[in-house]
Every structure is written in structure tokens, then in C-alpha cells.
Amino acid sequence: MTRQMTGAKMVVQALRDQGVDVVFGYPGGAVLPIYDEIFQQNDIRHILVRHEQGAVHAAEGYARSTGRPGVVLVTSGPGATNAVTGITDALMDSIPIVVLTGQVPTFMIGNDAFQEADTVGITRPCT
């Protein structure tokens, strides 16, 4: 019998494969499966912040001090929009960061689903 890997496990494994050892973030419904996987392993440490914007700025500081990209994990909708100021700041200062956001299920995009936002459209100018 073949065990299937969940999307959340794939994300955490991909982070591990890239040598990520710290993720800054604020949990929310759309990314809880990823958080569950993060907390079931010991290779990647999670730094809980009080606001998504703070997660991005913390990742910027990490990138500046280590020379490695800072990684951020936030939920869909307001989580993603709250990260935009930090994303723009990182772009303007040429600081390498990776921001992972949740999203509503594909079939719900464009239907005003709970915590839905046009994340691609909102972040396109700052990525």
C-alpha cells in the first residue's frame, strides 16, 4: 500500500530540502495543515509573531543577519494583505524573502469566500 503525501507535508519537506531552519508567521485557517506539520518535526523552528507584517519584517532581519532568505507563513486574505507592507519593504531594500500564504479552495476563488483576497493581484507590484 502506498501512502500519499499531503500538500502540507510537501511544503514542509520542500522547506527542509532548501535548508530552511526558521519560519516566521502567524497561523490562520488556510495554513493550519502546514502548521500541524511544522509542529510535528524538529528541523524547522517557528517564530510566532503578533501580526503578519511583523513576520515579514522579522524575516527581513533574519535575512540581513544570516545572508539566507527569510521565510514567512501567513494565512489567506487578511493574512496575505497584512504582509504586503513588509514584502514591499523587502523588495525596495533587495532583501531576499519567501512568503507563503494560504488561499481559499480553488472552486471558491472569485465567490467572496471567507478570507478570500486577490493575493496574486495585490502582491504582483511588489514581487
Looking at the domain assignment, is residue 102 inside a domain?
A: yes
Question: Which three three-digit cell numbers place residue 71?
Answer: 521565510
Residue 1 resides in a domain: no
Give 99's pLDDT tier (boundaries 50, 70, 90): very high
Q: pTM for the complete prediction?
A: 0.93
Q: What is the CATH classification number for the domain harbouring 27? A: 3.40.50.970
Other CB atoms within a 10 A radius of the CB of residue 105 amount to: 10
Identity (one letter) of the amino acid at 29? G
Taking only the tens place, the pLDDT of each residue in 62-74 is: 999 999 999 999 9
Per the structure, the count of domains in the chain is 1
Say which residues have a Cβ less than 8 Å from residue 4's Cβ, sequence separation at least 6.
Answer: none
Q: Which residues form the domain of 100? A: 7-119
* Residue 126 domain-assigned (yes or no): no
The answer on pLDDT for 109 being more than 80 is no
Report whether pLDDT(1) > 70. no
- Give the pLDDT band of residue 106 (cuts 50, 70, 90): confident
Residue whose cell numbers read 519537506: 13
pLDDT band at 3 (very low <50, low <70, confident <90, very high): confident
Grid-cell match 517557528, residue found: 46
* Contact predicate 109/36, CB 8 Å: no
